[in-house]
Amino acid sequence: MSSAHKPWGGRFTESTDAFVEAFTASVDFDQRLAPYDIQGSIAHATMLERIGLLTPKDLEAIVKGLEKIRDEIERGDFHWAVQLEDVHMNIEARLTDRIGDAGKRLHTGRSRNDQVATDVRLYLRAEIDLIRSELVRLQTALIDLAEREADTILPGFTHLQVAQPITFGHHLLAWNEMLERDRERLADCRKRVNVMPLGAAALAGTSYPLDRELTAELLGFSRPSANSLDAVSDRDFAIEFAAAASLIMMHLSRFSEELILWTSAQFGFIDLPDKFCTGSSIMPQKKNPDVPELVRGKSGRVYGHLVGLLTLMKSQPLAYNKDNQEDKEPLFDTVDTLKHCLRAFADMMPHVAPRRAAMLESARKGYATATDLADYLVRKGVPFRDAHEIVGKAVRLGVESGRDLSEIALDELQQFSAHIADDVFEVLTLEGSVAARDIIGGTAPKRVREAAGKARKRLQAA
């Protein structure tokens, strides 16, 4: 196709170089915007008819033509032409082939600049809704498991060293809190996505008396954009989404790291279902946690897209520049990667099998109840710093003799403090330790069940 036959070709005297034509085209990747392009075009045409710039007959032809094109695309029968550059021109050219001059009138009062910005916002709005539903699925699985495991004791770690005993349910709800913040962030991000650029035209608005409020209403946008220059050049909404996606991937990567550790022979805290693992081509005993490992790896991919989008926009003067064509592939891949990772986790977590005996045995190591002994002494009137030193000496005795604090005889403990009495062993049990953390946000089993119930209500209210 020569430049003279392109929609913008009237000003040109020679054909576009074949390499340049392929190099500048975006149709190979932006065709996924087709449903949203058609949705936006139908709304735009409806508005044009309402203000008298299209006849009812033209509107009927445009709507029917676009619906048939949508069917062609869904069936895989649509021919995408690189020579037509992008999704917009491919659909418009096909529409004109179908219905004639009415198809040529569709572009009245708009530009590809505001058209693509609208398409991307419609696409991302729909994807945010899907992603939030996947988050709800994963959160529900975590809450269900947390309720079942509210009494299951495992060691809590700091610096990957045994710190204090906690419950498995409490640990799972920590993950849920991260995801709840992620879900809230996406809801907030969606508000800024849900602003309509259509009507900004190329950069300055248009001389046609467009009813932008009507178009926004037809497309479900909260409002039209306030400034035409900003509307066509803004990609903050995509960057904000990529930042929210990066946080979600960071959280999933943290979950993955723990699942990978917990499935190892050195921990042995959980079993993952076989269908989420793979084996080794040479070592028959291996069961590799490939899903968590891949999710952990894909976090870097999403981070890279965030940095790429920030870099894409950092030097652009107003208004639209061809650079912005480069926003789609990183945005699309971010959406796909995030959805797939969330789906994998939401499918996998309901089938995680805790190995409770291994968790309990591990919690007995590392003197996890040392803080409980210090708190016991404080309640007996010993200043905390003195109590800290006393317990440190008791731990040293345990290390030297290979015994847990609960295994050290009363008279041996009393050599470190006269305040220690025979009731001390009530606080040195793992069960007593977790039950004592009976405050809001604590690891006591009843608090875990209470927190799980509140978390479930939040999801149901969303």
Q: What is the mean pLDDT of residues 254-260?
A: 97
> What pLDDT sits at residue 2?
43
User: Known catalytic residue: 88?
Assistant: no
pLDDT for position 98 = 97
Is a pLDDT exceeding 60 seen at residue 159?
A: yes
Query: Is 111 marked active-site?
Result: no
Residue 1 has pLDDT above 50, yes or no: no
Domain with CATH 1.10.40.30 in the chain: 370-428
Comparison of pLDDT for 460 and 2, the residue scoring more: 460
Q: How far apart are CA 196 and CA 194, in angstroms?
A: 7
Chain region(s) in the chain for CATH 1.20.200.10: 113-209+222-361
- Catalytic member of 159, 207, 281, 315: 159
Q: Which of 265, 261, 252, 445 is nearest to 346 (CA)?
A: 252
Q: Tell me what pLDDT residue 361 has.
A: 92
- Asked if the peptide bond before residue 461 counts as cis, ω within 30 degrees of 0, the response is no
What is the rounded CA–CA span in Å between residue 429 and residue 87? 66
147 versus 5: the higher-pLDDT residue is: 147
| Fold designation for 3-108 | Fumarase C; Chain B, domain 1 (1.10.275)
Of all residues in the chain, the percent with pLDDT exceeding 70 is: 97
What's the whole-model pTM score? 0.91
Task: Quickly name the fold that domain 370-428 has.
Answer: Ribonucleotide Reductase Protein R1; domain 1 (1.10.40)
Tell me how far CA of residue 9 lies from CA of 3, 4, 83, 110, 238, in angstroms.
5, 4, 12, 18, 31
Confidence of residue 268 (pLDDT cuts 50, 70, 90): very high
CATH, domain range 113-209+222-361: 1.20.200.10
Q: 43-71 pLDDT, tens per residue?
A: 999 999 999 999 999 999 999 999 999 99
Question: What average pLDDT score do residues 160-175 get?
Answer: 95
Active-site pick, 2, 222, 264, 280: 280
Segment 72-101 shows an average pLDDT of 96
Q: Could you tell me if 111 and 44 are in contact, meaning their C-beta atoms sit under 8 angstroms apart?
A: no
Report pLDDT digits (tens) over 199-213.
999 999 999 999 999
Q: Answer whether residue 236 shows pLDDT above 70.
A: yes
* pLDDT, average across residues 392-412: 92
Q: What is the pLDDT of residue 7?
A: 66
Q: How confident is the model at residue 21 (pLDDT cuts 50, 70, 90)?
A: confident
Predicted local confidence at residue 9, as pLDDT:
62
Share the mean pLDDT of the chain. Answer: 94
Distances (CA, A) of 198 to 31, 46, 54: 19, 13, 17
**Cβ-count burial 238-263 (b if 16+ within 10 Å, e if not):** bbbbbbbbbbbbebbbebbebbbbbb
Euclidean distance between CA atoms 298 and 253, whole angstroms: 8
> What angle (nearest 5°) sits at the alpha carbon of residue 405, between those of residues 402 and 408?
75
Amino acid 4: pLDDT: 40
Residues 6+ apart with CB under 8 A from 373: 387, 391, 394, 405, 424, 427, 428
Is the pLDDT confidence value at 277 over 90? no
Cα–Cα dist 272/287, whole Å: 9
Beta bridge partners of 166: 154
pLDDT tens-digit readout, 409-445:
999 999 999 999 999 998 888 998 999 999 999 999 9
DSSP state of 225: -
The candidate with the shortest Cα–Cα distance to 443, out of 214, 219, 163, is 163
What does the pLDDT read at residue 22?
81
